[in-house]
Each structure stands twice: as structure tokens, then as C-alpha cells.
């Protein structure tokens, strides 16, 4: 299956849905309850994916300043400022990519603060702008362990959301529909986990920079057959590459773990930089964030609540440290690069002494300063010097 | 290896191009300096050809490196030096230079203040351990000192003597060159002595460096052009780190270029070994 086609079909269908009075569109955060929305018949749009597109195309460098001037600080999430700025300017990368005039108008906006609170401010802006209803899931955050009371809390919020959606659609939720979307998500996410695990092979058949592209369907098409089918094909292909010892980085000599967000506007040059240094980024916190193996179609709401609370970004620092150590071991990592993203402190895990704790136990770690979208916060020269020097020292 | 072979390191920094040539024994036989101006390659070629000895690593057409020379580039401009046979980051280059010049057995920390960045490099067991480069802002770099000297209309070469003539310790707080500039103007408006202000400026550079990482080794080695031009910085480091042995690497400005030259020597050695092994294999096969 061709990735470009999968994404094009998704966006074109979404565009059709937005123009069809009989279909409804929900906006959802990237680790929000897409399975519930799809089970209730909504087409789902993910503004973070749009933010990443604005970043990767570097169109954000025109749109972030627009949002800054409008009153959104340069220090807050640059997905938010990229996206709101694009809306203010009346532009979207979807036009160039798929001929779509604008982002789909939301019938409802649903966010989950399991990742950060900026998504709430972001969705609130658009709810005001489109005069659309908004619903927030507010789970307990930074938890060391997920407890029964946390699950019960989030399940009750899911139930409230379902009531709102039922009212909008004029029908009750069919349990079999939720079981189905949950099962499809589970299949896709298990396959995604296997896809990422192929990088345990030496040499690795894929790098972080490939995975940031491959991850499109697991973000925007969870709960659909398309996502599941895409990863089935991808996994087969990667297994063939592993068997044939096809390397993502020819001559792979160092294996790197990447923590934090990608620098979307520099994916290609970063990928080339690592390649030229024969270093392969084989594992990352970011791509692993869409592994939800705890989904259980026989117990959808509690298992979804558990999986969505359990995500890395919503855990305490000790959990994060243990998680990274485990992956360093499993993927035979030579060194860890922490991306300290200026506008994404929630997904920058270098700020509370974690790199120093890893180094103390002999795990080399280094920090680069940058950002997910805002290239004003990023220096090509400085980052490449740090990365190259780090690889030289490993 | 050819005993007449020369190994060149070119450290193409943000403000200056430094070039060092060494022989098989690692002895420095040439060192040159030029300004980083553009077109860059023109100025790199000029620097490489500028010595009184007339010695140049470049072929007559200046497009490539002569056969009995090996040239390695380091510094921010390293990837733009077209005829370089290899590149090396400044982190590794300063380490190699300092290690050869000082021959230290104990763990040590190199503090290198450059034109546009500062680095703190920990060395253990004769290899680089942890290293840190300053964050995005210019505070703690040569650019910061230059910018404020310019604002104060003081010649750079007079800055150290003025700082030494201070009679009061003051603090500049800001990370940011622009905010620091505003602080400076406010302090001057209050009638403060220029000497005290310049001393505070240097103290803030030292402070910014010490904030970058914990220095855990007993020995601190200062390197780089900014330290070379502003010796008061070494005095301030000594003052701030009374329990550490603080020393300046000799010829500090050329330390990175020298490290790159040593790397070039290692590179040539490896190539020579490879060549002799393949010759050996070819001989035994025949």
C-alpha cells in the first residue's frame, strides 16, 4: 500500500465529509479517543498532524509569526501557533498536497490533556471561531502508575462524551461499533509496535526519520481497516528487509535513541547527517507514543482509558527514565540524543536532570536545542556540530 | 609514511580561520590566521598561502591538496572547505590539540570560548566524555564580549586592562545580549565606572559557562581564541574555581587547528597501513 495514497484518500474523504450535510467531522488530539468518535460515525481530523505538515513544509515560518502577532506567545506550542497562524492567513499545506481548499470545519472538537494543556487552548480558539461544541478529557497527569481510580475517572469522562455525541447524532452508541473500532485500533497499534521493533535488527531496516513518515496512519486512521492493512504490508516489507540485511543507514556503526519531538522542518537534512556519520536512530520516545497494546475490544472504555493515561508523556520522571533505560538495553543503543524543544517542554525530557542520571550509569547522552516547528529556535550549525561530535565520541 | 609529509588542520571559525601544519612527529611547522570573510573559500586559500615560508598545502591551481600533504577541516565552516580530505568537529579537535600539548594523565575539563559558541568538554582516560555547547544565546561567547565592547566604544585589546582596574564587583544578570546591553546602559546612566562594568561583563561570561555544566574534574584547561585575547577570563575562572588547577593551553587560539592537524596525521597513518596491508595481500596472492 502506498503511504501517499493512504494519506491522500484520508484527506480527500475528510474534505468531502466536511462539505456533506449528512456527515459530521470531529477534531481530535493525536492521543485522544478517536475510537469513540469513529464508532459514533464521525470523520476525524487531527490538528497536530496538520501542525506537523506545516512544520515539515516549513510553511509554519510564515504562519507562526502571524499567530504571535495575534497574541499567541512565541514560547507556547508551535503546533498551535503554526496552525492558528495558518488559519488566520487562510492557508493550508493540504492545498498544495491534495488540492483541498481549507481544513475541514469541525462539528465538535475533542481534546485530551494527557499530552499537555496547550491542546486545550488550541481547541478552545477554534471552538470559538467555528462556534462549535468542545469536549475535554482531563485525565490525572504525570502519574507514576495508572490506578483503578484514574481509570474510573476517565471512563466516566468518556461516558459523558458519548452522551454528547449521541445527542449530536440522534442515536445511541452501538456497543459493537465501539468494540469494532477498538479492535481495529488494537490490531493497527500492535502492528505499529512490530514495525518499530524491526529496528532491533542489526543493521536496522528503518530509522526514526522513516518512522516519522510511516506513523501517519497510526495517528490519523486509528480505528479503521486502512491503518491495519497499511501496517500489515509495511511490516511484511520490513521483515523482508531485515532478512536481506538491508540497512536504513549503510554501514551502520552507531545506534542512537532520540527523545523528544522531531525537528519537522529538518527531517531530510537530519536524516542525511546521521547517514553520513553512519549512525542510525533506531528508537524514539516519539514514535513509540502511538503504541496502545492495552486496548481490549471486550472491555473498550476501561482499556482505552488505561492505555491513554499510560502513555509516556503522561507519566512521572522515574517512569520515563526506566522506559528509556529499557529501550537502550533492548535496542542496543550507543547513545541518547535529547531534543529540548523550545515550545514543547512537555515532550522535552532533558530539563529535569534525566540525561545526567543516564550518564552516571555510563549511558552517553547529549542535548540539542531546537523546536518541533519554529526554526527561529533552531541552529543547523550548532545542532549538527553537537550530533557529529556526539557520534565521534561514542 | 613520507618523512616530508605535512599534516594541516584548518579551523574555520565564525570570526577567524586558523591553520596549523605539523610534521610526522606532531611538531608545529606552520601556523597562520585569517579573518572569516566571504567568499569563504577565497579567504581559506589566502590563509593557507599567507606564510612567509611560501609553504602551501594546495596545488598550483589551488583546487586540491598536494600529494605530500593531508588536510583536515574543523570549526563551523568545516563542511564548506571543498578540498578538505576529512572533517572533524571542534569538540574532538580541541581535545586532540589539548591532549597532545599538555599530555595530561588525569581527568580534565576543556573550556573553549569561541566567537559564536562556548564548549565545556570533559576528558577521562584520554578520551572525550560528556560535552556541552552553549544554548542559542550569545551570552558566554566572544560575540557577546565584542558586541558590548562595541557599544561601550572600547577597543577589544584594552578590555582586559580596564577589567583589571575595577574597584567593585557587580553582576550582569541577563542571558541575552540585547537585555545585557540594556542593563549596561542603565548601569552607565547611574554613573558607574566603565572598569567595573567591563569586569562585570567578563564575570558574566564566566558565570554563563559555569552554568552550562558541573565541572567535576580537578584540572581545567582553557582554550580558544577568546581566552587568548582576553586573559582576564583565565584569572576569573581561577577565582571562581579556587579548588581546581586552572591552566591555559599554550597557543590557545590554534588548539583546534592543531588537533585537526594531528587527526590528519592519524588519517594518513591509517591510509598508509591500509595501503601496505593491501600491498602485502597482493604480494602474497601473487
pLDDT in the model for residue B182: 86
Contact B128 A379 (CB under 8 A): no
3-class secondary structure, B234: helix
Clarify whether residues A159 and A301 are in a common domain: no
CA distance B216 to chain A (A): 12
Torsions phi, psi for A250 (to 5 deg):
-55, 135
Kindly report, residue by residue over A142-195, the tens digit of the pLDDT.
999 999 999 999 999 999 999 999 999 999 999 999 999 999 999 999 999 999
Peptide bond before residue A268 is cis, with ω within 30 degrees of 0: no
CATH number at residue A220: 3.40.50.11900
Residue A335 with chain B: CB contacts under 8 Å = none
pLDDT mean across residues, chain A: 97
Q: For residues B225 and B204, give the distance between their C-alpha atoms in angstroms, rounded to a whole number.
A: 18
Clarify whether residues A154 and A241 are in a common domain: no
Residue ending a domain, among A130, A158, A174, is: A174
CA distance B135 to chain A (A): 7
Clarify whether residues B25 and B77 are in a common domain: yes
Q: Is residue A353 less than 8 Å (CB to CB) from chain B? A: no
Residue ending a domain, among A133, A148, A174, is: A174
- Residue A23 — pLDDT band, cuts 50, 70, 90? very high
% of chain A at pLDDT higher than 90:
99
Contact A393 B117 (CB under 8 A): no
Kindly report, residue by residue over A101-156, the tens digit of the pLDDT.
999 999 999 999 999 999 999 999 999 999 999 999 999 999 999 999 999 999 99
Q: Is residue A392 less than 8 Å (CB to CB) from chain B? A: yes
Per-residue pLDDT, averaged over A322-327, amounts to 98
Clarify whether residues B236 and B115 are in a common domain: yes
Clarify whether residues A83 and A156 are in a common domain: yes
CA distance A215 to chain B (A): 30
pLDDT in the model for residue A110: 98
Per-residue pLDDT, averaged over A44-64, amounts to 98
Domain total for chain A?
2
Question: Residue B188 sits in which domain range?
Answer: 107-249
Q: B189: which 3 cell numbers?
A: 546612566
The closest CB to that of B136, out of A359, A377, A389, belongs to A377
Kindly report, residue by residue over B3-29, the tens digit of the pLDDT.
789 999 999 998 899 999 999 999 999
SS3 content of chain B, % helix, strand, coil (to 5): 45, 20, 35
Clarify whether residues B240 and B266 are in a common domain: no
- Radius of gyration of chain B, Cα coordinates, nearest whole angstrom: 21
Clarify whether residues B170 and B262 are in a common domain: no
pLDDT in the model for residue B176: 76
Q: Is residue A337 within 8 Å of A368, Cβ to Cβ?
A: yes
Residue B103 backbone class (left: φ over 0; alpha: ψ -120 to 50; beta: rest): left
Ordered alpha helix ranges (H), B32-155 = 40-49, 90-102, 142-152
Residue A389 with chain B: CB contacts under 8 Å = 89-92, 128, 131
Residue B59 located in a structural domain: yes
The closest CB to that of A382, out of B117, B129, B131, belongs to B117
Clarify whether residues A149 and A188 are in a common domain: no
Kindly report, residue by residue over B24-67, the tens digit of the pLDDT.
999 999 999 999 999 999 999 999 988 778 899 999 999 999 99
- Residue B151 — pLDDT band, cuts 50, 70, 90? confident
Q: Which of A226, A196, A220, A221 is nearest to A286 (CA)?
A: A196
3-class secondary structure, A42: strand
Q: How many contacts (CB atoms, under 8 Å) link A and B? A: 39
pLDDT in the model for residue B1: 60
Q: Which residues contact A73 (CB under 8 A, 6 or more apart)?
A: none
Clarify whether residues B230 and B172 are in a common domain: yes
Clarify whether residues A158 and A209 are in a common domain: no
pTM of the entire predicted model: 0.92
Taking 90 as the threshold, does the pLDDT of residue B280 lie above it?
no
Per-residue pLDDT, averaged over A330-347, amounts to 97
CB-count exposure of residue A276 (10 Å: 0-12, 13-18, 19+): middle
- Residue A15 — pLDDT band, cuts 50, 70, 90? very high
pLDDT in the model for residue B181: 82
Clarify whether residues B16 and B138 are in a common domain: no
Residue B131 with chain A: CB contacts under 8 Å = 366, 389-390, 393
Clarify whether residues B230 and B260 are in a common domain: no
Clarify whether residues B260 and B224 are in a common domain: no
Residue B221 located in a structural domain: yes
Residue A369 with chain B: CB contacts under 8 Å = 135-136
Clarify whether residues A387 and A260 are in a common domain: yes
ipTM metric: 0.86
Taking 90 as the threshold, does the pLDDT of residue A7 lie above it?
yes
Clarify whether residues B131 and B192 are in a common domain: yes
Domain total for chain B?
2
3-class secondary structure, B169: coil
Per-residue pLDDT, averaged over A283-299, amounts to 97
pLDDT in the model for residue B136: 65
Q: Is residue A380 less than 8 Å (CB to CB) from chain B? A: no
Clarify whether residues A248 and A317 are in a common domain: yes
Taking 90 as the threshold, does the pLDDT of residue B270 lie above it?
no
Taking 60 as the threshold, does the pLDDT of residue A46 lie above it?
yes
Residue B281 located in a structural domain: yes
Contact A366 B131 (CB under 8 A): yes
Question: Residue A289 sits in which domain range?
Answer: 178-393
Per-residue pLDDT, averaged over B134-150, amounts to 81
Residue B102 located in a structural domain: no
CATH number at residue B66: 3.30.420.40
How far does chain A reach from its first CA to its final CA, in angstroms? Answer: 38
Clarify whether residues A129 and A183 are in a common domain: no
Torsions phi, psi for B230 (to 5 deg):
-125, 70
Residue ending a domain, among A153, A174, A195, is: A174
Clarify whether residues B185 and B267 are in a common domain: no
CATH number at residue A47: 3.40.50.11890
Clarify whether residues A71 and A112 are in a common domain: yes
Torsions phi, psi for A352 (to 5 deg):
-120, 45
Question: A279 has which bridge partners?
Answer: A254
A385 → chain B, closest CA residue: B89
Clarify whether residues B74 and B117 are in a common domain: no
- Residue B252 — pLDDT band, cuts 50, 70, 90? very high
Clarify whether residues B127 and B162 are in a common domain: yes
Clarify whether residues A166 and A229 are in a common domain: no
Kindly report, residue by residue over A201-233, the tens digit of the pLDDT.
999 999 999 999 999 999 999 999 999 999 999
Amino acid at each position: 500500500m502506498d503511504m501517499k495514497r493512504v494519506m491522500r484518500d484520508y484527506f480527500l474523504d475528510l474534505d468531502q465529509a466536511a462539505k456533506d450535510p449528512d456527515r459530521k467531522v470531529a477534531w481530535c488530539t493525536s492521543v485522544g479517543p478517536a475510537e469513540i468518535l469513529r464508532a459514533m460515525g464521525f470523520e476525524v481530523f487531527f490538528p497536530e498532524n496538520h501542525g506537523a505538515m506545516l512544520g515539515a513544509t516549513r510553511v509554519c515560518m510564515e504562519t507562526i509569526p502571524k499567530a504571535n502577532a495575534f497574541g499567541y506567545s512565541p514560547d507556547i506550542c508551535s503546533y498551535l501557533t503554526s496552525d492558528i497562524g495558518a488559519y488566520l492567513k487562510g492557508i493550508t499545506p493540504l492545498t498544495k498536497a491534495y488540492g483541498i481548499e481549507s481544513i475541514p470545519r469541525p462539528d465538535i472538537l475533542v481534546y485530551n490533556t494527557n499530552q499537555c494543556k496547550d491542546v486545550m487552548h488550541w481547541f478552545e480558539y477554534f471552538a470559538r471561531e467555528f462556534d462549535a461544541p468542545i469536549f475535554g478529557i482531563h485525565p490525572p497527569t504525570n502519574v507514576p502508575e495508572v490506578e483503578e481510580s484514574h481509570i474510573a475517572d476517565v471512563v466516566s469522562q468518556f461516558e459523558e462524551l458519548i452522551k454528547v455525541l449521541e445527542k449530536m447524532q440522534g442515536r445511541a452508541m452501538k456497543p459493537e461499533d465501539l468494540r469494532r473500532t477498538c479492535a481495529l485500533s488494537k490490531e493497527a497499534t500492535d502492528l505499529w509496535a512490530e514495525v518499530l521493533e524491526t529496528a532491533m535488527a542489526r543493521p536496522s531496516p528503518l530509522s526514526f526519520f522513516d518512522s516519522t513518515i510511516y506513523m501517519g496512519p497510526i495517528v490519523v486512521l486509528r480505528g479503521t481497516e486502512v491503518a491495519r492493512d497499511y501496517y500489515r504490508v509495511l511490516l511484511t516489507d520490513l521483515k523482508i528487509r531485515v532478512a536481506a540485511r538491508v540497512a536504513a543507514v549503510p554501514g551502520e556503526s552507531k545506534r542512537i535513541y532520540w527523545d523528544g519531538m522531531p525537528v519537522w522542518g529538518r527531517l531530510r537534512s537530519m536524516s542525511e547527517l546521521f547517514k553520513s556519520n553512519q549512525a542510525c536512530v533506531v528508537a524514539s520516545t516519539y514514535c513509540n507514543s502511538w503504541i496502545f497494546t492495552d486496548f481490549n475490544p471486550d472491555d473498550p472504555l476501561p482499556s482505552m482509558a488505561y492505555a491513554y493515561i499510560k502513555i509516556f508523556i503522561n507519566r512521572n520522571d522515574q517512569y520515563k527514565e526506566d522506559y528509556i533505560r529499557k529501550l537502550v538495553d533492548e535496542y542496543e543503543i550507543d547513545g541518547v540524543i535529547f531534543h529540548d524543544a523550545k515550545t514543547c517542554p512537555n515532550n522535552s525530557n532533558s530539563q529535569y536532570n534525566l540525561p545526567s542520571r543516564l550518564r552516571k550509569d555510563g549511558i552517553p547522552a547529549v542535548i540539542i536545542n531546537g523546536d518541533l516547528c519554529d526554526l527561529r529556535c533552531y541552529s543547523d550549525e550548532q545542532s549538527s556540530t553537537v550530533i557529529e561530535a556526539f557520534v565521534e565520541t561514542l | 609514511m613520507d618523512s616530508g609529509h605535512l599534516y594541516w588542520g584548518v579551523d574555520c571559525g565564525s570570526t577567524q580561520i586558523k591553520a596549523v601544519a605539523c610534521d610526522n612527529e606532531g611538531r608545529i611547522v606552520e601556523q597562520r590566521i585569517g579573518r572569516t570573510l566571504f567568499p569563504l573559500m577565497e579567504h581559506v586559500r589566502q590563509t593557507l598561502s599567507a606564510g612567509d615560508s611560501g609553504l602551501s598545502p594546495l596545488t598550483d591551481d589551488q583546487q586540491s591538496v598536494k600529494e605530500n600533504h593531508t588536510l583536515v577541516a574543523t570549526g563551523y565552516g568545516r563542511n564548506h572547505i571543498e578540498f578538505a580530505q576529512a572533517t572533524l568537529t571542534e569538540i574532538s579537535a580541541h581535545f586532540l590539540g589539548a591532549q597532545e600539548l599538555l599530555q595530561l594523565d588525569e581527568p580534565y575539563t576543556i573550556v573553549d570560548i569561541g566567537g559564536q559558541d562556548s564548549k565545556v568538554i570533559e576528558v577521562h582516560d584520554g578520551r572525550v566524555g560528556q560535552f556541552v555547547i552553549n544554548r542559542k544565546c550569545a551570552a558566554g561567547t566572544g560575540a557577546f564580549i565584542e558586541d558590548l565592547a562595541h557599544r561601550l566604544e572600547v577597543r577589544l585589546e584594552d578590555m582586559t586592562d580596564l577589567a583589571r582596574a575595577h574597584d567593585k564587583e557587580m553582576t550582569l544578570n541577563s542571558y541575552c545580549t540585547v537585555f545585557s546591553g540594556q542593563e549596561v546602559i542603565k548601569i552607565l546612566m547611574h554613573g558607574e565606572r566603565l572598569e567595573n562594568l567591563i569586569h562585570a561583563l567578563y564575570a558574566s561570561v564566566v558565570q554563563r559557562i559555569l552554568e552550562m555544566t558541573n565541572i567535576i574534574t580537578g584540572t581545567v584547561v582553557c582554550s580558544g581564541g577568546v581566552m587568548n585575547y582576553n586573559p582576564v577570563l583565565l584569572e576569573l575562572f581561577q577565582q571562581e574555581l579556587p579548588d581546581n588547577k586552572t591552566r591555559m593551553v599554550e597557543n590557545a587560539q590554534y588548539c583546534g587547528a592543531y588537533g585537526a592537524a594531528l587527526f590528519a596525521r592519524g588519517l594518513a597513518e591509517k591510509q598508509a597501513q591500509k595501503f601496505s596491508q593491501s600491498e602485502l595481500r597482493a604480494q602474497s596472492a601473487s
